[in-house]
């Protein structure tokens, strides 16, 4: 059916009605065919096209296709499983239902439970194995602060050994709370272009790598030089792009500590 | 379970077999316990395991206790079980604290009960009680580099102060 004929049949079609939608569909088809005229072309473009920047588009896509890691530490993991695995809560609504069993394929780690001091190096290694950009959610009181386990075996807060983007309180948090924390993380990813976690949390110069000339408690000469170069690079880039530094305003709550 | 007279009979026979081995007995909550000299714990366990009429052949559990401030300070409990009669008896080695940096020690019972290997490692891990003759005495649950014996009663409960908003400026290294 021609667009003109349909419009003649329904001259007073309200926006949102099926006929209106059909007119827009036919108009889009005619646009691709090159049949759309001046005034109608203007109207179609103003209705159908949104302009944005590529960075914003990428951040929007990244925040809506997170790949969490299949990783549970304690009882909070049950709530995490309820979030991703049950149709009632269903993290697939926010595009994060694809759990990955390898840190190489994941970009989000949810610390669900207390981290013992024997587990902390393992968690840190898993986080280091994930590819940038990567994020971390600390779920529950135990991984955020040690919780009730103020004792010899548990790390008092996972942010002592790795950067955490979102802390979700609760013991354990309800699935809704974890989803809310995840939405906060999505908001952070969309609002602020990613700079890698070291830039995000002012941790340039803390890179670690295997070396031969290990003296306990002292960085090697090569490491010292590399740290100095990294700090120099950050200082120069901050000078060249103004007080806010590269990548827009600083992330809220990401001050030095 | 041996009843109180039965426990005294066992203690008497043990004293006859190994002089000075049994320091005392008690019977509480229906459970029989022999308190023994830590230097003779291995002969006592072997006697309980092999003597006809006793035959406590199964070591159900081995664990350490810190009785601070009592003396002797530590106890190593061996829970023995006779599975034919379903009778249990507890042997408690009263281990004294040598003081200073020295660790208390007693003989390992792995040659008698191989199941004791991991349990003795756990007692060593948490109480710092050394089992002489143990094939592989390392920490089992805590990290290998851990310092201290955390289940002792004089070990501080919390490793570090809990940080709240009102006291975060007092916690060293927190707000810098």
Between A206 and B30, the higher pLDDT residue: B30
- With vertex at residue B102, the alpha carbon angle to CA B97 and CA B103, rounded to the nearest 5 degrees, is 60
* Alpha helices, DSSP H, located in B29-115: 41-50
**Beta-carbon count within 10 A of B138 CB:** 9
Give the DSSP H/E element, type plus range, for residue A19: helix A18-33
Beta bridge partners of residue A192, listed in sequence order? none
- The residue among A137, A58, A72, A70 whose CA lies nearest residue A106 is A70
Q: Is the pLDDT of residue A3 over 70?
A: no
Nearest residue of chain B to residue A147 (CA atoms): B162
Within-domain flag for B70: yes
Specify the number of domains making up chain B. 1
CB-based contact B158 A151, cutoff 8 Å: yes
Within-domain flag for B170: no
Within-domain flag for B71: yes
Nearest residue of chain B to residue A117 (CA atoms): B143
Q: Using the structure block, give the residue that is written with the tokens 């061996």.
A: B78
Q: pLDDT digit string (tens) for B89-146?
A: 999 999 999 888 889 999 999 999 999 999 999 999 999 999 999 999 988 988 888 8
Q: pLDDT digit string (tens) for B148-171?
A: 888 888 887 765 666 666 766 776
Nearest residue of chain B to residue A154 (CA atoms): B159
Q: Does A147 touch chain B (CB under 8 A)?
A: no
d(CA A254, nearest CA chain B) in Å: 13
Nearest residue of chain A to residue B157 (CA atoms): A151
Q: Is the pLDDT of residue B37 over 70?
A: yes
CB-based contact B143 A118, cutoff 8 Å: yes
Closest CB from B150, B174, B176 relative to A152 = B150
How large is the average pLDDT for residues B58-80? 92
Q: Does A122 touch chain B (CB under 8 A)?
A: no
Distance of CA B163 to the CA centre of its chain: 36
Q: Is the pLDDT of residue A220 over 80?
A: no
Q: Is the pLDDT of residue A103 over 80?
A: yes
Give the DSSP H/E element, type plus range, for residue B63: strand B58-66
CATH number (domain holding residue B77): 3.30.460.80
Contact yes or no for A73/A143 (Cβ under 8 A): yes
**pLDDT given at position A257:** 37
Q: Does A144 touch chain B (CB under 8 A)?
A: no
Q: Does A12 touch chain B (CB under 8 A)?
A: no
CB-based contact A156 B160, cutoff 8 Å: yes
pTM, full prediction = 0.69
The CA distances from residue B21 to A181, B36, B43, B87, in Å, are: 63, 6, 9, 22
The three-state secondary structure class of A192 is coil
Within-domain flag for B160: no
Q: How far apart are CA A28 and CA A3, in angstroms?
A: 11
Q: pLDDT digit string (tens) for A132-191?
A: 888 999 999 999 988 888 888 888 888 888 889 899 999 899 999 999 999 999 988 888
How large is the average pLDDT for residues A228-251? 63
**pLDDT given at position A254:** 42
Q: Could you tell me the strand order of the sheet in which A135-139 lies?
A: A108-112, A135-139, A166-168
Phi, psi of A140 (to 5 degrees): 95, 165
Instruction: Show the domain range for B128.
Output: 4-148
Question: How does DSSP assign A109-166, residue by residue?
Answer: EEEES--BTTTHHHHHHHHHHSPSS-EEEEEHHHHHH-TT--STTB-S-GGGTS--SE
Q: How far apart are CA A159 and CA B58, in angstroms?
A: 46
Contact yes or no for B74/B104 (Cβ under 8 A): yes
Within-domain flag for B49: yes
Residue B100: Cβ-neighbour burial (10 angstroms; 0-12, 13-18, 19+): exposed
**pLDDT given at position B99:** 82
What residues in A contact B169, CB-CB < 8 Å?
Answer: none
Within-domain flag for B175: no
Within-domain flag for B176: no
Within-domain flag for B156: no
């Amino acid at each position: 059916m021609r667009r003109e004929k349909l419009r003649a049949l329904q001259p007073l079609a309200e926006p949102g009605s099926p006929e209106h939608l059909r007119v827009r569909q036919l108009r889009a088809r005619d646009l691709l065919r090159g049949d759309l005229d001046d005034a109608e072309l203007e109207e179609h473009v103003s209705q159908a096209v949104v302009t944005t920047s590529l960075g914003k588009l990428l951040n929007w896509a990244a925040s809506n296709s997170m790949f969490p890691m299949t990783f549970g530490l304690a009882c909070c993991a049950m709530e995490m499983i309820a979030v991703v695995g049950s149709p009632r809560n269903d993290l697939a609504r926010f595009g994060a239902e694809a759990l990955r069993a390898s840190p190489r394929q994941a970009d989000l780690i949810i610390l669900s439970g207390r981290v013992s001091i024997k587990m902390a190096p393992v968690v840190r290694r898993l986080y280091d194995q994930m590819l940038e950009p990567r994020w971390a959610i600390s779920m529950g009181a135990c991984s955020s602060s040690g919780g009730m386990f103020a004792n010899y075996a548990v790390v008092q807060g996972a942010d002592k050994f790795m950067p955490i983007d979102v802390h979700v309180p609760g013991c354990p948090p309800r699935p809704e709370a974890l989803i809310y924390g995840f939405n906060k993380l999505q908001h952070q990813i969309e609002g602020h272009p990613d700079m890698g976690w070291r830039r995000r949390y002012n941790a340039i110069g803390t890179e670690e790598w295997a070396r031969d000339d290990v003296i306990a408690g002292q960085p090697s000469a090569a490491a010292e030089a590399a740290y100095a170069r990294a700090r120099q690079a950050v200082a120069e880039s901050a000078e060249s792009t103004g007080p806010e530094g590269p990548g827009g305003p600083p992330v809220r709550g990401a001050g030095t500590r | 379970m041996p009843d109180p007279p039965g426990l005294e009979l066992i203690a008497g026979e043990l004293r006859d077999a190994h002089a000075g081995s049994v320091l005392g007995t008690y019977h509480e909550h229906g459970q029989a316990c022999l308190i023994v000299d830590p230097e003779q714990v291995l002969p006592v366990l072997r006697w309980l395991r092999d003597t006809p009429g006793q035959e406590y052949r199964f070591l159900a559990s081995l664990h350490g206790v810190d009785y601070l401030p009592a003396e002797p300070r530590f106890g190593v409990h061996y829970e023995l079980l006779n599975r034919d009669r379903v009778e249990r008896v507890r042997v408690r080695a009263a281990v004294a604290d040598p003081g200073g940096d020295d660790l208390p020690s007693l003989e390992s019972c792995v040659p008698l009960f191989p199941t004791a290997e991991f349990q003795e490692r756990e007692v060593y891990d948490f109480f710092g009680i050394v089992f002489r003759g143990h094939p592989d005495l390392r920490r089992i649950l805590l990290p290998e580099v851990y310092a201290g014996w955390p289940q002792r009663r004089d070990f501080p409960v919390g490793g570090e102060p809990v940080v709240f908003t009102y006291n975060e400026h007092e916690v060293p290294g927190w707000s810098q």
